[in-house]
Amino acid sequence: MSQTVLIISGTGVQGAAVVQALVEAGGFKVKILTRSATSPAAVALSALPGVSIIEGSCYDETDLNNAYKDIDATYVNTNSGILGEMAEIYWGIRIFQIASNHGVKHFVWAGLDYIPKLKGYNNDPNLRVKHYEGKGKVNRKQNLSSLS
Protein backbone atom coordinates (compact mmCIF):
# COMPACT_ATOMS: atom_id res chain seq x y z
CA MET A 1 0.00 0.00 0.00
CA SER A 2 1.46 3.35 -0.99
CA GLN A 3 1.25 6.50 1.05
CA THR A 4 0.65 9.91 -0.44
CA VAL A 5 3.08 12.57 0.75
CA LEU A 6 2.67 16.30 0.20
CA ILE A 7 5.93 18.22 -0.02
CA ILE A 8 5.75 21.95 0.59
CA SER A 9 8.67 23.74 -1.07
CA GLY A 10 9.39 20.57 -2.99
CA THR A 11 11.11 22.37 -5.83
CA GLY A 12 13.71 23.92 -3.51
CA VAL A 13 17.02 22.36 -2.59
CA GLN A 14 15.80 20.62 0.58
CA GLY A 15 12.39 19.66 -0.76
CA ALA A 16 13.72 18.28 -4.04
CA ALA A 17 16.10 16.04 -2.10
CA VAL A 18 13.16 14.74 -0.04
CA VAL A 19 11.17 14.09 -3.22
CA GLN A 20 14.10 12.22 -4.75
CA ALA A 21 14.58 10.11 -1.60
CA LEU A 22 10.90 9.15 -1.49
CA VAL A 23 10.92 8.19 -5.17
CA GLU A 24 14.06 6.08 -4.69
CA ALA A 25 12.60 4.41 -1.59
CA GLY A 26 9.45 3.44 -3.49
CA GLY A 27 5.97 2.95 -2.11
CA PHE A 28 5.05 6.64 -2.14
CA LYS A 29 2.94 8.91 -4.26
CA VAL A 30 4.47 12.36 -4.00
CA LYS A 31 2.62 15.62 -4.52
CA ILE A 32 4.49 18.91 -4.60
CA LEU A 33 2.77 22.19 -3.78
CA THR A 34 4.57 24.91 -5.73
CA ARG A 35 3.87 28.39 -7.05
CA SER A 36 4.63 27.44 -10.66
CA ALA A 37 3.94 24.07 -12.25
CA THR A 38 5.97 25.19 -15.27
CA SER A 39 9.19 26.10 -13.48
CA PRO A 40 12.19 24.04 -14.63
CA ALA A 41 12.41 22.33 -11.21
CA ALA A 42 8.69 21.46 -11.16
CA VAL A 43 8.81 20.07 -14.70
CA ALA A 44 11.88 17.95 -13.94
CA LEU A 45 10.42 16.57 -10.70
CA SER A 46 7.04 15.82 -12.30
CA ALA A 47 8.84 13.49 -14.72
CA LEU A 48 9.81 11.21 -11.82
CA PRO A 49 7.58 8.17 -11.25
CA GLY A 50 4.73 8.80 -8.82
CA VAL A 51 5.31 12.57 -8.61
CA SER A 52 2.64 15.14 -9.40
CA ILE A 53 2.53 18.91 -9.10
CA ILE A 54 -0.14 21.02 -7.43
CA GLU A 55 0.06 24.68 -8.35
CA GLY A 56 -0.66 27.02 -5.46
CA SER A 57 0.77 28.86 -2.51
CA CYS A 58 1.62 27.37 0.85
CA TYR A 59 0.69 30.76 2.30
CA ASP A 60 -2.93 30.55 1.14
CA GLU A 61 -5.47 28.61 3.21
CA THR A 62 -7.65 27.65 0.24
CA ASP A 63 -4.65 26.24 -1.62
CA LEU A 64 -3.50 24.40 1.50
CA ASN A 65 -6.93 22.89 2.15
CA ASN A 66 -7.11 21.70 -1.46
CA ALA A 67 -3.57 20.30 -1.35
CA TYR A 68 -4.08 18.38 1.90
CA LYS A 69 -7.01 16.31 0.62
CA ASP A 70 -6.18 12.57 0.81
CA ILE A 71 -2.64 13.11 2.13
CA ASP A 72 -1.04 10.65 4.56
CA ALA A 73 2.16 12.52 5.38
CA THR A 74 3.82 15.85 4.71
CA TYR A 75 7.21 17.52 4.67
CA VAL A 76 7.05 21.29 5.15
CA ASN A 77 9.82 23.82 4.61
CA THR A 78 8.71 27.44 4.57
CA ASN A 79 10.92 30.15 3.08
CA SER A 80 12.21 32.15 6.03
CA GLY A 81 13.95 34.69 3.84
CA ILE A 82 10.76 35.70 2.08
CA LEU A 83 8.36 35.42 5.01
CA GLY A 84 10.25 36.95 7.87
CA GLU A 85 10.16 35.65 11.42
CA MET A 86 6.59 36.52 12.47
CA ALA A 87 4.93 35.27 9.27
CA GLU A 88 6.96 32.06 9.40
CA ILE A 89 5.74 31.41 12.94
CA TYR A 90 2.14 32.04 11.88
CA TRP A 91 2.31 29.89 8.73
CA GLY A 92 4.28 27.10 10.38
CA ILE A 93 1.59 26.70 13.00
CA ARG A 94 -1.28 27.26 10.55
CA ILE A 95 0.02 24.67 8.07
CA PHE A 96 0.29 22.19 10.94
CA GLN A 97 -3.32 22.91 11.95
CA ILE A 98 -4.63 22.51 8.40
CA ALA A 99 -2.74 19.24 7.92
CA SER A 100 -4.12 17.98 11.21
CA ASN A 101 -7.67 18.99 10.23
CA HIS A 102 -7.30 16.83 7.10
CA GLY A 103 -6.17 13.79 9.07
CA VAL A 104 -2.53 13.84 8.00
CA LYS A 105 -0.80 11.17 10.10
CA HIS A 106 2.83 12.29 9.82
CA PHE A 107 4.05 15.90 9.79
CA VAL A 108 7.72 16.72 9.28
CA TRP A 109 8.61 20.38 9.83
CA ALA A 110 11.97 21.47 8.44
CA GLY A 111 12.71 23.32 11.63
CA LEU A 112 15.65 24.18 13.77
CA ASP A 113 16.28 24.10 17.49
CA TYR A 114 15.45 27.31 19.33
CA ILE A 115 19.09 28.10 20.06
CA PRO A 116 18.62 31.58 21.64
CA LYS A 117 16.63 30.08 24.50
CA LEU A 118 18.88 27.05 24.81
CA LYS A 119 22.05 29.15 24.91
CA GLY A 120 20.65 32.04 26.97
CA TYR A 121 21.34 34.90 24.57
CA ASN A 122 17.76 35.58 23.49
CA ASN A 123 17.81 39.13 24.93
CA ASP A 124 20.76 40.34 22.85
CA PRO A 125 19.44 41.78 19.54
CA ASN A 126 22.95 41.72 18.04
CA LEU A 127 22.99 37.92 18.19
CA ARG A 128 19.59 37.24 16.62
CA VAL A 129 19.27 35.14 13.47
CA LYS A 130 15.65 35.71 12.51
CA HIS A 131 15.24 32.93 9.95
CA TYR A 132 16.65 30.46 12.47
CA GLU A 133 14.52 31.75 15.33
CA GLY A 134 11.24 31.63 13.40
CA LYS A 135 11.66 27.92 12.68
CA GLY A 136 12.75 27.26 16.25
CA LYS A 137 9.76 29.08 17.68
CA VAL A 138 7.37 26.97 15.61
CA ASN A 139 9.02 23.86 17.08
CA ARG A 140 8.47 25.23 20.57
CA LYS A 141 4.81 26.17 19.96
CA GLN A 142 3.69 22.86 18.52
CA ASN A 143 4.37 19.29 19.41
CA LEU A 144 5.22 18.43 15.84
CA SER A 145 5.99 14.82 16.65
CA SER A 146 2.34 13.86 16.70
CA LEU A 147 -0.88 14.92 15.05
CA SER A 148 -3.11 13.13 17.55
Residues 141, 93: contact at Cβ < 8 Å?
A: yes
User: How much is the pLDDT for 109?
Assistant: 85
Note the pLDDT tens digit of each residue in 117-144. 666 666 666 766 666 667 776 766 555 4
Which residue from 76, 97, 81, 57 is spatially nearest to 132, judged by alpha carbons?
81
Q: Where are the domains of the chain?
A: 3-141
Q: Does domain 3-141 have CATH number 3.40.50.740?
A: no
Note the pLDDT tens digit of each residue in 107-118. 988 766 556 566
User: How much is the pLDDT for 81?
Assistant: 74
Which residue from 15, 133, 143 is spatially nearest to 74, judged by alpha carbons?
15
In this prediction, the residues of the chain whose per-residue pLDDT falls under 70 are 1, 111-125, 127-133, 137, 139-148
User: How much is the pLDDT for 40?
Assistant: 97
Residues 121, 127: contact at Cβ < 8 Å?
A: yes
Segments in the chain forming alpha helices (H): 13-25, 40-46, 61-67, 80-83, 85-101, 115-119, 130-141
What one-letter code names the amino acid at 20?
Q
Residues 134, 88: contact at Cβ < 8 Å?
A: yes
